[in-house]
Amino acid sequence: MKDKVVPLLIVAVLLGGITVMFAPADTQKSAQIKVNVPILSAAAQAGEAQFTRNCSQCHGQNAAGTNQGPPLIHKYYRPNHHPDRAFYRAAANGVRAHHWQFGNMPPVTNVKRKEVRKIISYVRELQRANGIY
């Protein structure tokens, strides 16, 4: 019986190692990406200022991500997966971690709804410029 268990354990360990080696990059803690920044509309420029003040510490300059938070220029944040209302809810209530391994996002209580609207305009323009819309 022992001679059958050891090979099975070795296979299990090897398969586990393969699973870790091929884990998708977006489940890892390092998520910074390169973002193409277009010429922004006036609304998006206002959103950029709000984003820089309230979001960039975790989501990075131009929403490119950091070691503390994911990039918002990512397929997960397309409008058909995370519509605008998800951004409003995230700011007001925080977000339970579900796509990334950064932990939960706390509420951003100092950002008002009209400021979130500007942030969304900025993020959506960046997404369009980077083929994520």
84: closest CA among 41, 92, 57? Answer: 92
Mean pLDDT, the chain, rounded, equals 82
Give the number of other Cβ atoms within 10 Å of residue 91's Cβ.
23
Domain annotation covers residue 19: no
**Over the stretch 50-78, which tens digit does the pLDDT of each residue have?**
999 999 999 999 999 999 999 999 999 99
**Which of the pair, 82 or 8, is modelled with greater confidence?**
82
> Are the beta carbons of 132 and 77 closer than 8 angstroms?
yes
Domain annotation covers residue 11: no
**Token pair belonging to 29:** 């803690």
Domain annotation covers residue 43: yes
Domain annotation covers residue 101: yes
* Domain extent at residue 98: 26-129
CATH number (domain holding residue 43)? 1.10.760.10
In this model, does residue 95 exceed pLDDT 80? yes
Q: How many domains does the chain have?
A: 1
